[in-house]
Structure 1
């Protein structure tokens, strides 16, 4: 087991985008909790990337199974479409569908800016002008309630000019024990400096699922790693004497694809006329000249196989990913969606077996939602719900008001509160 966990750690280091990066905590100086906020509740908001909704049972995550039994568990949580990491983490932070907050995929093109957003490009990821909505930590800081983040998409940049008071640049070099100690240290700060909301992100399960698949011993080990870390986090709240609310979520699930017999970019697509960002479960095609859209669409519909072809205006309404939803124009003019087990591989390089990004109604794409703590009812199981509804739940617990438009509705999850 130790060898497997070590291997997962080495994989995380291998995929790390930025090698030379500041590993230290970043602190925005001069902030204090307003006196009106000091007695408000505390929330640790945890995301385990790629933690499919059946993983706790499948791999007997003993701590999570016990903790959710004392609180609330959903049979599943439906990710937003597309069911990818960047889009859904920012949805979980803002309560908005990807088409409304602007991060419409892990990689996409913005025709107005004439720029590409790519998940591996640190300059794009840290550019606040890509991000719409009001992340939950920004909402809190605007109302003089302190927050902290140990990784979460958007927390490394000043969205609306605001970062969490305490935050870290994403990297894979900080050991788990050090990350958990940071949470303990935050909770031991004096009341006026103590964060009421802590965002905490685990990448390990997603990494193992991609490389080895959802049924692998490596994924089982990653689930155990996260489960143990959550158990330690709960214990540390007892040590510091704080009754803390925990909200444990994931961004999407995971499934197995045919990573040997993959689909190339259709030869019908002239890349001198169309811009095509990389993708596997979703290919977006952006026309440089809008007059070229319909002819290409008709050819792809007539000649394409192993994938479905959509004009943006004809995308399924339930995905909230149509032309009517396309707030910033960042959804492609033509969308190609492979039929599993087929996937696209535009790079020509070997690709992983574990994939996500597919139809958010698919059982294997379903995410996880558990919650426990003083503000949650005990022993409650609820039906599946869309992940846009987590944001208003967090705001309600923390006593934060908001006037901007979101897609989530506080009424959906209000019944789980005491």
Structure 2
């Protein structure tokens, strides 16, 4: 599988600069308690952008077989906005993005007067941006060792805690090396062995962005992920440990309209509003709140192929309005394009063929959820559900006590457990 350099150069220059660090980081002095050594294991795998129909569309044979031995959901409903950073962090906190603080891949915090951007390594590793209690933090607080081969938030010491074993994100480590690392973790002495492992695969998202959802490159990426999961499962099964697998994705993908792009509306006065660059969601942060009403009315009158919302008027089903904005990071006004249209505020060398971030109710935005292992019922199909419910499911399997209020509920997925 080729290296996905082009897209990384386009979106993640700061991450590329940090690729020199391919070493495993280990937090010293930690051990599983005797009680936690008796617990089962969970490997949480995310294949970024793996839409809910991709396994069948492209005949991902390993995943088809594995899901048949466990649980398969019709879909996994991402939180709004259906973007990578907000949803990966929702999956491990059980909180909607407006409740955990990562409200977009790029957003502004008025109180801090700072911008959070997914390609800014300083921000990505700054724990003060992250709310909630990630699963690895919850586990480590209860003397259970964890490991991460990438996940949003795992490089920041949220509540002062990182996974015991973790890597800084880079695209330089090949898949066989990553799988070998998981094997070495599971072969550690019981007091040092992680019971929760997160594992992230970006390939499908990269290729679907570049070439669209029907392209042979996207099919190749799906097969790469499928083969990788097959290798990982064969390896872990050989160790004869009670490993439970959850394979999911953060969002789906749609073929974008790359011709009829939406320009910056004339009603936006950038001397009155801070406007971070966005294509599927645009935030307008007012320097003076007295300017919001007039701008809102002007934008409403001009709007074609996009919707305009004041923070207090956002659809309740998104959990993204003013009353949900715990960290005050959502724009005073947001612009939401109607898929497959998107905004383009600056000249780009080319437009991405596939996009996500749109209304999470759209069929094309639906993500994937499969689960198998000793904790799960066999050959069970379930309806689509919101991704906030994954957190209490994993906590239940690992016997962890949830210590803070979350948006997810165990009752939604409890029936899939034995």
| TM-score of the superposed pair, with normalisation by structure 2 | 0.97
Indicate the residue corresponding to 2:267 in structure 1: 268
Measure the CA separation in 1 of the matches of 2:63 and 2:194.
24
C-alpha distance in 1 between matches for 2:360 and 2:165: 33
For the residue of structure 2 that corresponds to 1:19, the secondary structure is helix
Q: How does 1:108-123 map to 2 (within 5 A)?
A: 108-123=107-122
Distance 2:49 2:272 in 1: 35
1:19 maps to 17
Bigger shift: residues 236-245 or 402-411: 236-245
Deviation at 1:387, TM superposition (A): 0.1
CA distance in 2, matches of 1:121, 1:14: 13
**1:174-323 matched pairs, under 5 angstroms:** 174-323=173-322
* Equivalent residues of 2:42, 2:196 under 8 A apart: yes
Structure 1: gaps (5+ residues)? none
Corresponding residue for residue 413 of structure 1: 413
CA-based RMSD: 1.1
Name the counterpart of 1:389: 389
Q: Report Cα offsets for 1:326-374 as digits up to 9, x if no partner.
A: 1111011111111223210122213201100000000000000000000
CA deviation after TM superposition for structure 1 residue 66, in Å? 0.2
The equivalent residue for 2:47 is: 48
DSSP 3-state at the match of 2:115: strand
Q: Is the 8 A contact 2:47 2:200 kept in 1?
A: yes
- Partner deviation per Cα, 1:160-204 (whole Å, 9 max, x = no partner): 000000000000000111011101110111111100000000000
CA contact (8 A) 1:311 1:333 kept: yes
Say if 2:87 is the partner of 1:84: no
Report if the CA contact (8 A) 1:13-1:173 is conserved.
Answer: no
Supply the distance in 1 between the matched residues of 2:259 and 2:365 (Cα, whole angstroms). Answer: 21
**1:119-138 correspondence runs (5 A):** 119-138=118-137
Shift of 1:12: 5.8
Is 2:4–2:206's contact at 8 Å kept on the other side of the alignment?
no
Whether 1:99 and 2:98 are equivalent positions in the alignment is yes
Q: CA deviation at 1:141?
A: 0.3
Change (3 A) 1:12 1:232: farther
* Structure 1 Cα separation of the partners of residues 76 and 163 of structure 2: 26
Q: 2 CA distance for matches of 1:203 and 1:148?
A: 18
Please say if residues 73 and 382 of structure 2, whose CA atoms lie closer than 8 Å, have aligned partners that are also in contact: yes
Moved over 2 A (4+): 8-21
Could you tell me how far apart the structure 2 residues matched to 1:338 and 1:402 are? 37
1:376 alignment counterpart: 376
Alpha-carbon separation, structure 2, partners of 1:212 and 1:79? 22
Q: Check the 8 A contact 2:26/2:165 in 1, yes or no.
A: yes
Shift, 1:272, TM fit: 1.1
Report SS of the residue matched to 2:391.
Answer: helix
CA contact 1:137–1:147 (8 Å) conserved in 2: yes
C-alpha distance in structure 2 between counterparts of 1:219 and 1:372, whole Å: 25
- Work out the CA distance in 2 between the residues paired with 1:402 and 1:66: 33
For the residue of structure 2 that corresponds to 1:258, the secondary structure is: coil
Aligned-pair distance for 1:385?
0.4
Task: Give TM-score, length-normalised by structure 1.
Answer: 0.97
Q: Which residue of 2 aligns with 1:167?
A: 166
Tell me how far 1:261 sits from its aligned partner: 2.5
- Count how many residue pairs are aligned between Structure 1 and Structure 2: 413
Asked whether the 8 Å contact 1:12–1:204 carries over to 2, the reply is no
Q: CA deviation at 1:325?
A: 0.5
